[in-house]
Amino acid sequence: MAIIGGGPAGASAATFTARAGLNTVLVDADQSITRRAWIPNHLGFPDGISGPDLVDRGKQQAQRAGARLVTGKVVDLEGTGTAGFHLRLEDGTTLEARHVILCLGVNVELARKAGAAIRPGGEPRIKEVVDVDALGRTSIPGVWAAGTCAGTSVHTIVTAGDGARVAINLISEIRGTRHVDHEVLAPAGQPRP
């Protein structure tokens, strides 16, 4: 499982796929627009949080769940002709993945280059987005998209939720049954299972 983009959508997707036991790599060029934001409206941070802190915490959470973080920019995404994809990074590193989730923020050029269908964006100042179905699948079998690049709102709480939603849909499709990831609190005074 390769997730391209380590902003809120990508880190959220990576957290879910890694927790589901999928061998997950989160590839991040550290270019998220969230890095330039002050976020006063992200649930769980009543005093607000800086974009850099939110991005860093998201990547830490994905790693804690078991995702491997690779720093670099993916410049090519090509199908292998069998069931999978080759990802080439700007520095020449190559990665292979059976499934890909694009969490590219406002830049859809990698998706366009890979051959994914693109459509006009609906958010102010977002001209184009990757065309996805209701589950988050792109026009390329095995490639999904989440967050702003898939047409959701630029608000971090929404993009993070969309990353989780698309990851759950992908995991469910792989397993053939609806995936649910939550735990129940232990009664007071007892250790969590």
Q: How many CB atoms lie within 10 A of CB 51?
A: 19
Give the pLDDT score at 193: 63
Q: What percent of the chain has pLDDT over 70?
A: 99
Q: How confident is the model over 42-97, as pLDDT tens digits? A: 999 999 999 999 999 999 999 999 999 999 999 999 998 777 999 999 999 999 99
Q: How confident is the model over 121-145, as pLDDT tens digits? A: 988 889 999 999 999 999 999 999 9
The gap between the terminal CA atoms of the chain, to the nearest Å, is 27
Arithmetic mean of pLDDT, 143-164? 96
The three-state (H, E, C) secondary structure of the chain, written as one string: CEEECCCHHHHHHHHHHHHCCCCCEEEECCCCHHHHCEECCCCCCCCCEEHHHHHHHHHHHHHHHCCEEEECCEEEEEECCCCCEEEEECCCCEEEECCEEECCCCCCHHHHHHCCCEEECCCCCCCEEECCCCCCECCCCCEEECHHHHCCCCCHHHHHHHHHHHHHHHHHHHHCCCCCCCCCCCCCCCCCC
Report strand pairing: 100-102 vs 2-4. Answer: parallel
Give the pLDDT score at 187: 84
Q: How many CB atoms lie within 10 A of CB 72?
A: 17
Q: How confident is the model over 2-28, as pLDDT tens digits? A: 999 999 999 999 999 999 999 999 999
Is residue 32 predicted with pLDDT exceeding 80?
yes
Nearest residue to 149 (alpha-carbon basis) of 114, 104, 115, 99 = 104
Tell me which of 69 and 187 has the higher pLDDT. 69
Q: What is the largest CA-CA distance in the chain?
A: 55
What amino acid is encoded at 152 in this protein?
T
Nearest residue to 181 (alpha-carbon basis) of 66, 72, 20, 55 = 20
Record the pTM. Answer: 0.94
